Amino acid sequence: MDLRTRVEALMPRAREELAELVAIRSVADPRQFPAEECQRAGQWVLDRFAELGFADARLERTPDGSDAVVGSRPCARPDAPTVLLYAHYDVQPPLDDAAWETPPFELTDKDGRWYGRGTADCKGNILMHLLALRSLGQDVPVHLKLVVEGSEEQGTGGLEAFVVDHPDLLAADAILVCDTGNAAVGHPAVTVSLRGMVNVVVTVEALASEVHSGMFGGAAPDALAALVAMLASLRDTAGNTTVDGLDTTRRWDGEQYPPEQFRGDAGLLDGLQLLGDGDVSDMLWARPSVTVLGIDCPPVVGSAAAIVPRAAARLNLRIPPGLEPEVAREALEKHLRRAAPWGVHVSIEVEATGSPFLATTDGPAYTAMAESMQEAYGRPMARLGQGGSIPLCNVFTDTYPDAEIILMGVEEPLALIHAPNESVDPREISAMALTEALFLQRYAATAT
């Protein structure tokens, strides 16, 4: 029986197991869901990989208090390369339950897809690993290491700190970071570029307290109006980000993101124009972009006829490879202070920063992965950027500078990760499991 047939034969079990895992509400925030749910998910993952020969599989407590599943499985050939398999078992909260068309923590078949929180991000990738290894049976020709973390979605850095503190434990020649995905269903891809980020909260103060808008409006400065003017200065009329000192002209030289596909993937309303003077790929993966995440100000319902004395906004600046977070942070802060009108008082709190990532793609692992995706999907592997940030990739790069880091997985735009109605196409789980199994065989052969 060939690998493809073995994977397909294992898919009914994969669905059953994914249903079990999705039913565990493993949101790594005890304010929203019991911590025991993450403990159950971690134990579930540990048990399944222990059955597959990871005899030393265990839960390791990381500095943020979460547990990572860590283990190893040696092969018979001492000089075989080592591959680290990564995923995470924690998930985003479901957000608005009423917006879900199916129960968020119940795997549901609908229109050929499997719906539920975590089906794609990232429990589907855990099942991808299990499927790949089961299809190979005892014939896994590389040394394997495993890490499945439990707080990735919270961004608290538990595993990042753990890697730095235990550098020998996860050392590998190739690292499969399975937390991204393909360009579209049936279109295989690896992610070679990630944007970094700078998150800040900017606060504007103008008055000691609210004052009557009729008695004082027109001469007294309005903190909310000042904040709006500052935020408006961050984009030009075409929608280009205009933070002084940041290059907004770079071009993306990899796979392009077709504009019409992007419109559908992003859910643009009819008649809206795309932002910026570059291609979609340029705007997403090669240039900085700033997003207003939230504003603190009086709500419409309940607001008074008074001048707002204080207002704040939370901003997210995404930065492409080649731009250091500290440089971007300094540019953003200077821009905001220069744009502040009327002498209003401005304070800026930095919430978080993260470095961008650019993979090195000329090694044997990338060659083996491209060949494996070609065989599994019958079409060439694309190389994509991603606007999101995965700080762990930079930690892996710094800790294991000779390792090839490959970002891949079962996600694709229709998966709606982080949103209500998250889903996965089961064909992506089977095809990516086949890809991984083929990769382990090919990569072992290139290293002989």
Return the number of other C-beta atoms located less than 10 Å from residue 34's C-beta.
11
The secondary structure of 234-266 as a DSSP string is: TB-TT--B--TTS-------S----HHHHHHHH
- Of 64, 152, 173, 222, which residue is the catalytic one? 152
d(CA 411, CA 439): 19
Q: CA–CA distance from 40 to each of 46, 59, 82 (Å)?
A: 10, 11, 29
Q: What is the DSSP string of 11-72?
A: HHHHHHHHHHHHTS---S-TTTS-HHHHHHHHHHHHHHHHHTT-TT-EEEE-TTS-EEEEEE
**At 422, which amino acid appears?**
E
298 Cα distance to chain centroid: 32
Instruction: Based on the residue annotation, tell me whether 90 is a catalytic residue of this protein.
Output: yes
Report which of 120, 109, 104, 149 is spatially closest to residue 16, judged by C-alpha positions: 109
Query: Cα–Cα distance between 162 and 352 in angstroms, integer?
Result: 19
The single residue of 90, 160, 282, 411 carrying the catalytic annotation is 90
Query: Helices 123-136 and 3-22, interaxial angle, to 10°?
Result: 140
Which residues are bridge partners to 423 per DSSP? 115
Report d(CA 122, CA 432) in Å as an integer.
Answer: 13
Helix (H) or strand (E) holding 367, with range, is helix 364-377
Which residues neighbour 99 within 8 Å (Cβ) at sequence distance 6 or greater?
A: 420, 421
The closest alpha carbon to 149, from 28, 32, 19, belongs to 28
Is residue 152 annotated as a catalytic residue, yes or no?
yes
Which strand (E) or helix (H) includes residue 7? helix 3-22
Strand pairing partners for 84? 145, 175
Catalytic residues: 90, 152
